[in-house]
Structure 1
Amino acid sequence: MASLTIKGTEIGAGVPKTIVSLMGTDAAAVLPQIEAGKVAGVDCFEWRADFCRALRDPATMAAESHVVADQLPDHPLLFTFRSTSQGGQCTLPVADYVALNRAVIEAGAIDLVDVETWIGDEAVRELVACAHAHGVAAVVSYHNFKGTPSVDWMVALLTHMRDLGADIPKIAVMATCPRDALALLAATDEAARVHDAGPLLTMAMGRDGSITRLAGEQFGSALTFCALKDASAPGQVAVPQAKRIMADLHKVLS
């Protein structure tokens, strides 16, 4: 697959890049998490806006994005407002969701933005176009905390996300058994080999899905969410352990 290079980090080549979520009530609250992530060797950071007190104030969030980004001159920064249905802390009306993301994109501090598919194709295309106009990569995302859809359904969704303009299509599903992890990996492999021309981000959540967070290089997922102290989703592996296992797999299969 084609890779995507941001701040010198090549996403889509070699070992999957690690990413951790920054969760705090404001920018100042996540700065210690950034420092801990740097010490752990994290490759990328996600700033979770749904944890912030000012989440309904786009201008304040835009200003706060610079505070976070100033601490990450060498690490890609993903901005995410995660809605309740997608595993987040709260939900905004679509118009407010779009306004928040537009304000942060236009502030010029972030490198990537997460756009949730539930807002509808028209709104997704609007935010993707806004992101691209400001040099920001778009992660178009879908989360399912109830189960794992069929392989064909997941491949079709990943393909549709690319058609919507996603630089990185993302799906996260819940594994209720090891077969669900196999389904997620099969969908990732097919999308990467047959339908895709850029990086993917896929995972099966939960204990039975943890293997999918570590085997991305073999099946086509270019990023993996890891835990520092607090996990942001079920089944995340601690950064040091994830980096060690992925490095060992890389050596075995090289």
Structure 2
Amino acid sequence: MNMSMGLQLHTRKGDEAVHPKICVPLMGKNREALQDEWKQLRKKTVDLLEWRVDYFEKNRDVDLIIDIAEEIHRETTRPLLFTKRSEAEGGQAVSLNEDEVVQLYEAVIASAAVHGIDIELRQSEKNTQHLIEQARNQEIDVILSHHNFTETPPAQRLEEKIREAVDLGADVAKIAVMPQSKTDVLTLLQVTEKMSRTIPIPLISMAMGVNGMISRLAGGVFGSALTFASGAQASAPGQIPVADVEQVLRILNRNM
């Protein structure tokens, strides 16, 4: 079974704004809760779904996880991004060690039941390269991501993280930061505007929290290819309900 054509995100072209796609996280603790989440989204303008498997209680049951991933795609027809976020980068505490996380990703990739996977840049380079190679064989996109829930690092540091993702072979680069001021949000947007012009892959960026909300709505103007909106619950501070994001993007896209 191979149903993947990747996440189908857009790389920026010159000065053009990107019309960002909308992704809603699925965070159910069990199969029934997940089913409720995606059924509520059927009439929403949602382009992608992200399964945050760190919220899933049976995260050691690989066969069950693959079965549910196949069901999500079958029932929604939307590309599915598979993410096990670490506690250090805003995820839920799980009992899986690094080797077990890699084995879970290997199994999910081999099943071709998803369209993309998110790997944190903190993961060892050896494991990252291995998973990228496996994903490429299945035409599954790899997002290499960096999340800072404490602060907004200087622009140079953010640019280094984006280049690191490119150099490692990511299909998509992602950075998320926590602004302490509106100036921090401007730093994130300036980095997005600069780097989205220069890297050869799509870039996802966001500033979290209340200060950063504007980056989730207008990020595409600066070159961000994807925005995360909340469905049943938010997976990160400052996420806006999908209906509100849909309305704002419709206005922006129509007038750009």
Name the TM-score, length of structure 1 as normaliser: 0.91
**Percent of aligned pairs sharing the same letter:** 35
Q: Secondary structure at the match of 2:212?
A: helix
Q: How far apart, CA to CA, are the structure 2 residues paired with 1:26 and 1:101?
A: 19
Q: Secondary structure at the match of 1:71?
A: helix
- Superimposed CA distance per residue, residues 40-81 of structure 1 (whole angstroms, 9 cap, x where no aligned partner): 2111100111111221233332233222222132x1100011
Equivalence for 2:222: 219
Equivalence for 1:242: 245
Q: How far apart, CA to CA, are the structure 2 residues paired with 1:109 and 1:131?
A: 11
Q: How far apart, CA to CA, are the structure 1 residues paired with 2:53 and 2:10?
A: 23
Number of equivalences: 246
Gap runs ≥5 in structure 2: 13-17
CA contact (8 A) 2:9 2:225 kept: no
Q: How far apart are residue 10 of structure 1 and its match?
A: 5.0
Q: How far apart are residue 128 of structure 1 and its match?
A: 1.2
Q: How far apart, CA to CA, are the structure 2 residues paired with 1:64 and 1:10?
A: 24
CA contact (8 A) 2:117 2:141 kept: yes
Equivalence for 1:179: 183
Output the amino acid matched with 2:117. Answer: V
Gap runs ≥5 in structure 1: none
Q: How far apart, CA to CA, are the structure 1 residues paired with 2:19 and 2:173?
A: 18
Q: How far apart, CA to CA, are the structure 2 residues paired with 1:116 and 1:10?
A: 19
Q: How far apart are residue 156 of structure 1 and its match?
A: 1.2
Q: Secondary structure at the match of 1:53?
A: coil
Q: How far apart, CA to CA, are the structure 1 residues paired with 2:129 and 2:55?
A: 25
Matches within 5 A, 1:1-254: 6=6, 11-12=10-11, 14-73=18-77, 75-91=78-94, 92-194=96-198, 196-252=199-255, 254=256
Q: How far apart are residue 202 of structure 1 and its match?
A: 0.7
Q: How far apart, CA to CA, are the structure 1 residues paired with 2:6 and 2:39?
A: 20
Q: How far apart, CA to CA, are the structure 1 residues paired with 2:204 and 2:164?
A: 14
Q: How far apart are residue 37 of structure 1 and its match?
A: 1.6
Q: Which has the higher contact order (CA 8 A, sep 6+)?
A: 2
Q: How far apart, CA to CA, are the structure 1 residues paired with 2:216 and 2:188?
A: 11
CA contact (8 A) 1:184 1:203 kept: yes
Q: How far apart, CA to CA, are the structure 2 residues paired with 1:182 and 1:246?
A: 20
CA contact (8 A) 2:52 2:82 kept: yes
Q: How far apart are residue 204 of structure 1 and its match?
A: 0.6
Cα gap change, 1:12/1:35 in structure 2, threshold over 3 Å: closer, same or farther? farther
CA RMSD after TM alignment: 1.7
Q: How far apart, CA to CA, are the structure 1 residues paired with 2:214 and 2:124?
A: 31
Q: Secondary structure at the match of 1:90?
A: coil
Q: How far apart, CA to CA, are the structure 1 residues paired with 2:56 and 2:134?
A: 23
Q: Secondary structure at the match of 2:144?
A: strand
- Superimposed CA distance per residue, residues 12-62 of structure 1 (whole angstroms, 9 cap, x where no aligned partner): 474211101101123332112112222121111001111112212333322
Q: How far apart are residue 179 of structure 1 and its match?
A: 0.7
Equivalence for 2:15: none
